[in-house]
Amino acid sequence: MHIDIITLFPEIFEILICHSIVKRALEKGVASIEVHNLRDYATNRYKSVDDYPYGGGSGMVMMIEPIDRCIEALRMKRNVDEVIYLTPDGELLEQPMVNRLSMLENIILLCGHYKGVDERVRESLITLEISIGDYVLSGGELPAMVFCDSVIRLLPGVLGDETSALSDSFQDGLLAPPVYTRPSTYKGMTVPDVLLSGNEKEIARWNYEQALERTVKKRPRLLGS
């Protein structure tokens, strides 16, 4: 998978690229990320990327021309599957969408800032709009990083244990069951006996019951109620 990120703040993505699971995926060649500074596509001598909104009002609006030029340059290089705009009014990013998008080859992410982008960008250049939750962040960079982490960790060979993404919360429509590690007793708190029993069938049943109980309690809507 290749992800092109278009942003006014490229340095923010160093955190994503230089750490943990995403770093491992990039090193293994399973995924690649290129960060593009939108200012490099500005056309006037001031390198403007934003302007005042028509009709007045506070804040600045990101201009269509640099965005169009950047996306066009990327489309010349590769077959782009989706051009995604991160915005609070987009479709909510949930595990089924993450799973679906992790199958794609080439994705462009556009990070908004200020008051957002000229509406014509959304109408003519964007193929999918994604929100990471019903709250407003100061830009699309953190949501873009959330998106990259969520899809890249699903790519084959990224997680050490091949089954570990399958046992994530949400993957089977349930939250994950509780987990424990050594010591088996800590300050009087013990690990459920069944987990120490070595009986795989009983452990699997316990995990399922716990996952169900947790889902009923914390995310009943996943069960359709």
Binding site for ligand ADE (CB under 6 A): 86-88, 112, 131-133, 135-137, 140, 143
Of 76 and 136, nearer to ligand ADE (C-beta) is 136
Count of all residues that appear for the chain in the document:
225
128 forms bridges with which residues in the sheet? 84
66: closest CA among 84, 97, 40, 105?
Answer: 40
Provide the minimum distance between the beta carbon of 62 and ligand ADE in the complex, in angstroms, as a whole number: 12
Provide the minimum distance between the beta carbon of 132 and ligand ADE in the complex, in angstroms, as a whole number: 4
Provide the minimum distance between the beta carbon of 28 and ligand ADE in the complex, in angstroms, as a whole number: 28
> Residues 27-33: contacts with CB within 8 Å, 24+ apart?
28/157, 28/158, 30/1, 30/152, 30/155, 30/156, 30/157, 30/158, 31/1, 31/2, 31/3, 31/152, 31/155, 31/158, 32/1, 32/2, 32/3, 33/2, 33/3, 33/4, 33/5, 33/148
Q: What is the amino acid identity at position 5?
A: I
In contact, 34 and 4? CB cutoff 8 Å: yes
Residues 6+ apart with CB under 8 A from 210: 177, 178
Of 74 and 84, nearer to ligand ADE (C-beta) is 84
Of 101 and 174, nearer to ligand ADE (C-beta) is 101
Of 66 and 143, nearer to ligand ADE (C-beta) is 143
Of 150 and 207, nearer to ligand ADE (C-beta) is 150
The C-alpha atoms of residue 186 and residue 63 are separated, in whole angstroms, by: 58
Provide the minimum distance between the beta carbon of 166 and ligand ADE in the complex, in angstroms, as a whole number: 27
Provide the minimum distance between the beta carbon of 150 and ligand ADE in the complex, in angstroms, as a whole number: 13
Mapped onto helix, strand or coil, the DSSP state of residue 7 is: strand
Of 53 and 88, nearer to ligand ADE (C-beta) is 88
Of 49 and 211, nearer to ligand ADE (C-beta) is 49
